[in-house]
Amino acid sequence: MKSVNYFITLCYLFGSILLSAQDKTEPNFEDILSLESVSNAQMSPNGQYVVYLVQSTDWENNRYDRELWISNGSEPPFQLTNTAKGSSGSPQWSPDSKWIGFTADRNDKNQLYVIRPNGGEAIQVTHSKQGISAFRWSPDGNTIAFIETKENKRAKEQEELYGGFAEDDKDYRTNQLWTMNFNAAVLSKNMTPEQLKDSSYQASIKPKLHLEESDLYINSVLWSPDGSKIAIEHQPNSIITSFFNADISIYNLEDETLTTLVDNPSYDGLVDWSPDGSSILFESNVDDTDSNFYLNSRYFIISTNTKESKEVATNFDENINNLRWHGKGIFGLAFKKTKRSMVELNPDNGEVTFISMPNERIYNVSFGKDQIAYTAANDDSLTEVFRSNFQFDNSIQITRTSSQIKNWLVAQSDVVSWKSKDGAIIEGILHKPQNYDPNKKYPLMVVIHGGPTGISTPGPTPSYVYPIVQWLNKGALVLRPNYRGSAGYGEKFRSLNVKNLGVGDAWDVISGVEHLTKEGLIDKNKVASMGWSQGGYISAFLTTNSNVFQAISVGAGISNWMTYYVNTDIHPFTRQYLKSTPWSDEEMYRRTSPMTNITKASTPTLIQHGEFDRRVPVANAYELYQGLQDNKVPSKLIIYKGFGHGITKPKERLAATWHNWQWINKYIWNEEIQLPMD
């Protein structure tokens, strides 16, 4: 093997490409991880402004920073907030469009702030001891409802007496409902910081606690259109699996009574009020507690007076997100294979139809007076912010985030399909370099998404902790399969890996490799696989059940369903997909576990895992690593300290990216690459 330092590597990898594409350069790992992105566009009610979030990378402080930006349609957008050591988020307009509420942690927990659309100093509105998790303006803008986690005095007393311990599946946290006056007239007088702290002003905005004796864990709240009631989605406690028992109630502000509206045996989720306040749209799993991790949600409209309900969207075979009941109708977003578009749900006949839009994937939509703000991307662009009328015949692009990559060599994306072992049709995204030669056979990197109900879509700079763009420019192809269980292909497809996890998923990945081999596109002796979470599990399964790959990277992957089942924080996930427990069907757990065939493993395998992962506990990494070591399989285990299920800071993402680059290049290109230290 040859030894190359960082600078020689760059020359070796990029030199020939730069000669053939003088006008474009190849981004390095830091460039990709430093890309600014936009999200959560919110149209002002009067249709004048669009506020949105911009995420940037703060390498010095090793964090991702999110701040509010704003556009008034006639001038260039500008940055509205600057939370020095944290981020700003959850922008929400006051009904009169004169204020923007947002949350930020500015050394005083997560609090609510307001700021004017023309800028200036943000004003802190809440002073919650525990911090707030969500807020909502009342329809008249004079009151704000917010959710605060109740201070756990019992836990503090317990710790003082007995030190730190916790009983499993017991959680004493409670999310409570508060309201407070919002005195816009007073704030509009440009009060000084001293005036804001004045006792009389503070008394006028003192929050009021509602349902004080309740032990409900409140997830979300929505004001009725007339402001007299608040709809509440709540679950018994804060344990993650308690969402199965979420219900919906109506709180009457006048007499302070709470009335249960929907209490099906399984999950009931609050969506929106009808514009006239007579009904509520909600999603539900009704009585299904055995398959709601992978089956479609169901949608209902219920009368708040009679409690009579009717099911809607029965003609639609996918989940609908971002649903809003606007004066012009009910609108949401849904995937159709790798496209994501707006849909309209007719409240009268219950039917769902797709709306033709000028972009290939829509990520969020917000409604104002005769105007819509939305974020969207195309196959060859980054996500951008747009504004439009309801007909989408005059869409205006507000942001230019894609300009960051205009001079880069980035991925070209094609959607390809093939037939799996059992005849199922599988799609995937095939990324090619910009100087792709159809007469050449390329090494292949297979990058598998998580979920399993995630989805891979086309895009110019796919990454996370995988240097996809750099592999393309080095001279490889990248396949990102939407294996069985992926979102966007309907309920039946998402159910194909039930009682067949790993097994069917492996069929889909391997058949994709075989398809590209038959097409003459790839060198079958230079194929690698990798993925995170469910993608990591599938990669681990491929490690011990196939010899198709020359290198594999397992990110936060499950190695043994038996030990995973008793350690994860979402036990029902395993029971639903495997339709059993380890004690009721040991064979099912063995058949779908990578560790079962550990003695057959031969593929060099890198294992990456977060130190404090609760979703896929780190024991899975140690078990797979020890098994590979005992069977003399080349392997390496890297633990990312302080992280849970995901790598959420830029420096550690950079490290993980380098680790994948080193491992895969060693076994695909016969290179020894040193981690650069300057």
Strands 605-610 and 635-640: parallel
Q: How far is residue 506's CA from residue 546's CA, in Å, rounded to a whole number?
A: 9
What pLDDT, on a 0 to 100 scale, did the predictor assign at position 368? 92
What pLDDT, on a 0 to 100 scale, did the predictor assign at position 22? 59
Residue 423 has pLDDT above 70, yes or no: yes
Residue 8 has pLDDT above 90, yes or no: no
Strands 551-555 and 522-532: parallel
What pLDDT, on a 0 to 100 scale, did the predictor assign at position 4? 35
Mean per-residue pLDDT for 489-500? 96
User: Which positions ≥6 away from 164 have C-beta within 8 Å?
Assistant: none
With cut-offs at 50, 70 and 90, classify the pLDDT of residue 12. Answer: very low
Mean per-residue pLDDT for 469-495? 97
Give the residues across from 526 on adjacent strands: none
Domain ranges in the chain are 2-27+409-673
Q: Which two tokens stand for residue 404?
A: 């960051």
Mean per-residue pLDDT for 439-449? 97
- SS3 breakdown of the chain: % helix, strand, coil, rounded to 5? 25, 35, 45
Mean per-residue pLDDT for 196-215? 81
pLDDT digits 0-9 by tens, 261-285:
999 999 999 999 999 999 999 999 9
What pLDDT, on a 0 to 100 scale, did the predictor assign at position 53? 98
pLDDT digits 0-9 by tens, 351-378:
999 998 889 999 999 999 889 999 999 9
What pLDDT, on a 0 to 100 scale, did the predictor assign at position 241? 86
Q: Which two tokens stand for residue 287?
A: 């009585």
pLDDT digits 0-9 by tens, 579-622:
999 999 999 999 999 999 999 999 999 999 999 999 999 999 99
Q: How far is residue 287's CA from residue 298's CA, in Å, rounded to a whole number?
A: 11
pTM to 2 decimal places: 0.92
What pLDDT, on a 0 to 100 scale, did the predictor assign at position 147? 94
Mean per-residue pLDDT for 286-304? 95
Q: Which two tokens stand for residue 51?
A: 């506020």
What pLDDT, on a 0 to 100 scale, did the predictor assign at position 526? 97
Query: What average pLDDT is seen over the chain?
Result: 92
Name the least confident of 199-213, 328-342, 374-388, 581-595. Answer: 199-213
Q: Which two tokens stand for residue 222?
A: 């929505």
With cut-offs at 50, 70 and 90, classify the pLDDT of residue 6. Answer: very low
Mean per-residue pLDDT for 58-80? 93
Which CATH homologous superfamily contains domain 2-27+409-673? Alpha/Beta hydrolase fold, catalytic domain (3.40.50.1820)
Instruction: Report cis status (omega within 30 of 0) of the bond before 452.
Output: yes
With cut-offs at 50, 70 and 90, classify the pLDDT of residue 242. Answer: confident
- CA distances (Å), 660 to each of 179, 250, 338, in order? 49, 51, 26
Phi, psi for residue 380 in degrees, rounded to 5: -110, 15
pLDDT digits 0-9 by tens, 639-662:
999 999 999 999 999 999 999 999
What pLDDT, on a 0 to 100 scale, did the predictor assign at position 171? 64
Instruction: List the one residue out of 567, 549, 550, 545 whose CA is nearest residue 558.
Output: 567
What pLDDT, on a 0 to 100 scale, did the predictor assign at position 433? 95
Mean per-residue pLDDT for 35-45? 97
With cut-offs at 50, 70 and 90, classify the pLDDT of residue 206. Answer: confident
What pLDDT, on a 0 to 100 scale, did the predictor assign at position 13? 38
With cut-offs at 50, 70 and 90, classify the pLDDT of residue 172. Answer: low
Instruction: List the one residue out of 667, 671, 673, 672 whose CA is nearest residue 525.
Output: 667
